[in-house]
Amino acid sequence: MNKILLINGANLNWLGLRDPNHYGNLSLKDIEELTTEEASKFNYELIAYQSNHEGCLIDTLQSHAKSCDGIIINPGAFTHYSYALHDALLDTCLPAVEVHLSAIKQREEWRSKSVTAAACIKVIWGKKEQGYIEAVHVLMEHIQNDK
């Protein structure tokens, strides 16, 4: 079966407990289930992984790159400074879509800069869990056009 890797970074394990105005009311498990359901409509399996540790995210990207067709990533705070994560995304040679639950461009100035965005085909922000659904569609369209 075709596979998509879903990566969630720092503090996203606390979704449902964090500020709902920025992050919504759903838990990470809820978002993973919604994204899994959407991917299955295209006959894709979703491999979900979350860590608060940058190196673990990179290890996961590297270990799954050869068996996946695309990546959806919400790097959390790593978005703003992890050039290592940027490089790991590029090194996979897979299309990646960056997702942010909150409207990062309308928050603190430091949140508006993404160093990982340049390694992605699209960045989706401010749509809460719907951003993950949109990311599935963006990946599917990109993969279809690449064939």
Single out the catalytic residue among 22, 23, 81, 83: 23
Is 23 annotated as catalytic? yes
Is 100 annotated as catalytic? yes
Q: Give the single-character DSSP code of 113.
A: -
Single out the catalytic residue among 64, 86, 100, 132: 100
What radius of gyration, in Å, describes the C-alpha atoms of the chain?
14
Pairwise CA distance, residues 53 & 85, whole Å: 11
Around Cβ 51, how many Cβ atoms within 10 Å? 19
Tokens of residue 122, six digits: 């699209």
Instruction: Give Cβ neighbours of residue 86 (< 8 Å, ≥ 6 apart).
Output: 115, 116, 118, 119
Whether the CB-CB separation of 74 and 6 falls below 8 Å is answered with: no
Of the candidates 104, 140, 132, 125, the residue with the CA atom closest to the CA atom of residue 3: 140
Catalytic residues: 23, 100
